[in-house]
Structure 1
């Protein structure tokens, strides 16, 4: 590779290279790839987009994935990084990775264990997103500046400990996270324990301003009292929470109860945006609207936008 001068942005996209066999790629060319990335990280790169075929993701065999080289984890100029179809398992002996990265996105990435006993600092990280990743809880990091987290495969599992309720370990041993925006998809609660874990996630984010959920489902076993008490406890520490958005709204009783209790508890809430499913009939929509309009509100500024 020959290039004179700095490289600010680098896109490496092998996503549609279907002729690459699963058995030997991309690691058959790992040495070449590593040399390219080493060269790029020495050229002042600020943004990188690295994409490998995700057809191998279904196997979940770590040795099938391209392992991200250490030069990317330690690059001092890198600010924005999008990764897809790779293995993230840094082996560098350092307490800090991605030292100046502010935006970090993982799409169908597999995480390996980080071979360090301590939590690794990602000091400048502000925006973090995960989409359909495997073993994301191995990504054991501290991100003191994080203010936006997007999880596109969020579902609380039965075996997750209460202090590790997010599918990524964001230094939950500290009392608070600085997150202002949380985006979740396919949020499903099967029992009271799972909902309590979700409540804990919210409670440790007292600066949260916006909660955006793609779809929301409650099992009938979760009682109204658990919903009421949980959200009431969160409202005591959330004085900046002003926007809630629920997409793919079905009009179910549990969804309405959740919205009702948000409106009743959160005094700073100004906007509740509800985006209905396209197949809701007009009669159901009218009934839902009547219920929403009659919900009591802790904030006089609270507006309901039903789309």
Structure 2
């Protein structure tokens, strides 16, 4: 058997996949196995700094405090090669001084975007942090998931990453803008999701290739002209929550979209106890003449003493 064991003879992509299944701190321990494994963890194409990473660090080194962020930075500085996917979740990292960490966050994102990252999931836990421009100008980025940020349109460039195909915004607050013609151009975008976002009316986009749109759990001021903010011509999948359906297709709506090419509709949190719900539902069916499949997750009236949630699908 060759020195270092049979696993050392495996192709690099398989070794990378094996290490990618381990937490970073465990992947680093494989460096003692052999000279082949010594630097493998520094070339991982997937990096995950999530709750498990920080909880493990705090458990083993409770005295270290903010030193864990220094370790985080060192890992990124020692990394060699391309980072395909990176997850950074600081929501439960017990950050004592938010503003003192902003410089580190900028450095992390600069390092990650300089290494050809394709998928980026960010949850910093402090919405006042301003995302650096390196995020919006990253040409390799195709998937971006932002959770818990506040975005001010005037502080953003008029384009998102040029090759972005999937954008998920969760618990994101959009600040208003006084620029009437402000539009975010995302020419390659295919999937767009808003989950529990606030004031998405301030987010206006042109996405000519958009195939899937999700709007769920809206917060803040709503308006029936939301459909004017998106180009719906190419959409094939439409996923709407209860309030989205109510406010933008109900009887109060001032604007109704033209006939859509939607083939799959997903509705969640519906309750047909009230006439307004039925009206919005019927309107949705009318504007989707090409509908092939309908999935409904509904809330059952307490009057019937059923469970809270049910689901049905109509192919």
- TM-score of the superposition, structure 2-length normalised? 0.62
Matched, 1:278 2:312: no
**2:249–2:283 CA contact under 8 A, matched in 1:** no
**2:84–2:116 CA contact under 8 A, matched in 1:** yes
| Pick aligned residue for 1:164 from 226, 234, 245 | 226
Residue 288 of structure 1 corresponds to: none
**1:155–1:186 CA contact under 8 A, matched in 2:** no
CA gap of 1:193–1:2, structure 2 versus 1, over 3 A, is closer
Tell me the CA shift for residue 72 of structure 1.
0.3
Structure ranking higher in helix proportion: 2
**Matched position secondary structure for 1:31:** helix
Residue 6 of structure 1 corresponds to: 82
| Pick aligned residue for 2:171 from 108, 126, 129 | 108
Report the Cα distance in structure 2 between the residues aligned to 1:45 and 1:182, rounded to whole angstroms.
28
Residue 95 of structure 2 corresponds to: 20
| Pick aligned residue for 1:73 from 122, 136, 144 | 136
After TM superposition, where is structure 1 displaced by more than 6 Å over at least 4 residues in a row? 188-193
**1:188–1:217 CA contact under 8 A, matched in 2:** no
Number of aligned pairs?
236
Tell me the CA shift for residue 165 of structure 1.
4.8
- TM-score of the superposition, structure 1-length normalised? 0.63
**Matched position secondary structure for 2:78:** coil
Report the Cα distance in structure 1 between the residues aligned to 2:308 and 2:95, rounded to whole angstroms.
41
Tell me the CA shift for residue 246 of structure 1.
1.4
Residue 41 of structure 1 corresponds to: 113
Q: Which runs of 5+ in 1 are unaligned?
A: 57-63, 253-275, 286-302
Tell me the CA shift for residue 100 of structure 1.
0.7
Q: Summarize the alignment of residues 191-230 of structure 1 with structure 2, pairs less than 5 Å apart.
A: 194-195=250-251, 197=253, 200=256, 203-204=257-258, 206-217=260-271, 220=274, 222=276, 230=283
Matched, 1:153 2:209: no
Report the Cα distance in structure 1 between the residues aligned to 2:143 and 2:132, rounded to whole angstroms.
16
Matched, 1:182 2:238: yes
Tell me the CA shift for residue 182 of structure 1.
1.1
